[in-house]
Structure 1
Amino acid sequence: MLEATEADGLTVGQVSTRLDVTVRALHHWDEIGLARPSLRTAAGYRLYTAGDLERLHRIVVYREIGLGLDRIRAVLDDPTTDVPGALRAQRSQIADRIERLQRLGAGLDRMIDAHEGGLLLTVEQQAELFGSRWNPDWTAQARQRYGDTAQWLEFAERSAARGLEEWRAVADAVAGLDRALGDAMDRGVAPGSPEAGRLVERHREVFASYFPLTRQMQVCLGRRYEADPAFAAHYDGVRAGLAAWFRRIVDADARAHGIDPDTATWQ
C-alpha cells in the first residue's frame, strides 16, 4: 500500500457517504480482501483511489441484486466464472422473490379490505349465501361497533383468507343452526334443558367461524338479537318469537355456568 495524502483519494467516511454503504461494511470488505484501499496516509488512514471506487461501485451493484460476497469475489476476480450465467441465476431468484412479494401484496390488499369492509363478497353473493333476510349493512354496523376489538381483528383475518366456497360452508352451518333453533322452539324445548344447552353450545361453535365467542359475549349477542330490529326480524323470520326465545336459552345456559346475564359484558 502506497503512502499518500488525502488529496490522492477518498477517505472511508467519504466513500461511505458517496456509495451509501456503512463504514463497517467497508472495513469488512477490506479485511476479507474484497475491496482494499490502494493508499494509506502517513497517519494510517485508508484512501480509496478512482480504481478502488469503480470496484466498490460494482460490489454495491452486485450486492444490491442479491449476490453473496463470495460470489461477488468470483465475478470480479475469477476469469473462469460464468458471469452471465451467475447473473441469470440471480435474475431467476429475483423473479421468484417478486412473485412471492406480489402474492404477499395481494394478500395485504385483501387484509386491508377485510379490516375496512368485513366480508369480501358482493351484495349479490351475500344475498345468495345468507338469504333474502340478510342485511349487507350488518358488517358495516359490526365494524362501527366492534372495529377496535380483538374479535374484529380476528374476523377480518379469517375473512381475508376465505373465498366464496368457504363462506358457503359457513352460511350452510348458520342456516342449519337457524332451522334447529326454530324446530326446538316449536317442540317446546325449555330454556335450561340439556337440549337447549346443546343448542347454545352449537351456536358458539358455529359463531366461531367468525371469532371465538365466550359465554358472556354470547349473552351480549342474545340481548342484541332480541333488541335490534334488524336482528330480531331475521330470527323472527325463521320463527315468530325466535329472537326472544334464543335469548332465554342463552341466559339460562349462562346462569348454569355461574354467569349473571344482567351484568354480562363483552369479554
Structure 2
Amino acid sequence: MSHSVGQVAGFAGITVRTLHHYDEIGLLAPSERSHAGHRRYSDADLDRLQQILFYRELGFPLDEVATLLDDPDADPRAHLRRQHELLSARITRLQQMVTAVETAMEAKRMGINLTPEEKFEVFGDHDPDQYAEEVERRWGDTEAYAESQRRAASYTKEDWKRLTAELDAIHARMAGLLAAGHAPDSPEAMDVAEEHRLFITARYYGCGHELHTCLGDMYVSDPRFTATYEAVRPGLAVYLRDAIHANAARARVKGDSGAEGAEGAKGA
C-alpha cells in the first residue's frame, strides 16, 4: 500500500511543504510516483519518517539525522538503544522539574527572595513564577494560599534545595511502589500518600485529607500536573491520586472507629 503526500502529512502531523523539503534534500525520497508524477510513500517510507521525526524532536540537525539513518554499518537495534538512552536522559531531566512545577502551582511566588541566578540554580530552566497569576486567581482568597505565601517568603535558596530533594524522594518512593505492583490502596502506598500530605502541611500549608484528595484529583484532571507525574513514571498521576483517596478513606475509618469506641466507653 502506498500513501499520498497529503495523507502522510496528516498521519505525521507535519506539513506537505516539510515532506517536499525532505525529498529535495534526499532525507526522505518517496519510493513511488503516480502516473501523474505525484509522490507516493510506502510503509517503509513511513517507518523512516518516524525515525526522522524522532531525532528531530530530540534536536538533531537534519544532516546528522541523515547520517544516522543512512550509515550502512548501522544496526537497527543500536538505533533503538540510542533512542532509549536519549529518552531516558530526557525523563531524568523532567523528573528534576516535577517538584518545581508542583510547588509553583501551589504558591504565587515560589522563592520570592531568590535572585534570578539562585532560582536557576534551584529550579533549572523551569520558571517557578509562570503560574503565579493563575494560582492567585484560583486560591488567592483561601487561608492555605495566605499561609503558603508567608512560608515561601521566608525560604532561602538552601531551603528550596532541601524541599525539592524531600519531595523528589517521596515521588520516587511512590513510583517504586507502582513499579513493584503494589495496589494504590495497599498499606505501603497509603503510607507514602500520608507522607506526601504531611510534607505539604509541614512545608507549605495545613493540608487535611479533604484538601489532599482535591489535590490528588487535580494531578489527574490538570494535564500539566499529569505530564510531570507521567514523566516520573507512566501511570503515576492516577496511582498517586488513588493512593491519596485510599489514605483519606483509611483516615475516615480510623476516625469512625475512634468515635464508636468513645461512645461505647461513655455508655459503659
TM-score, normalised via structure 2 length: 0.49
User: Which structure would you say has the larger RCO, counting Cα contacts within 8 Å and 6 or more residues apart?
Assistant: 2
Of structures 1 and 2, the larger Rg is shown by 1
Higher helix share: 2
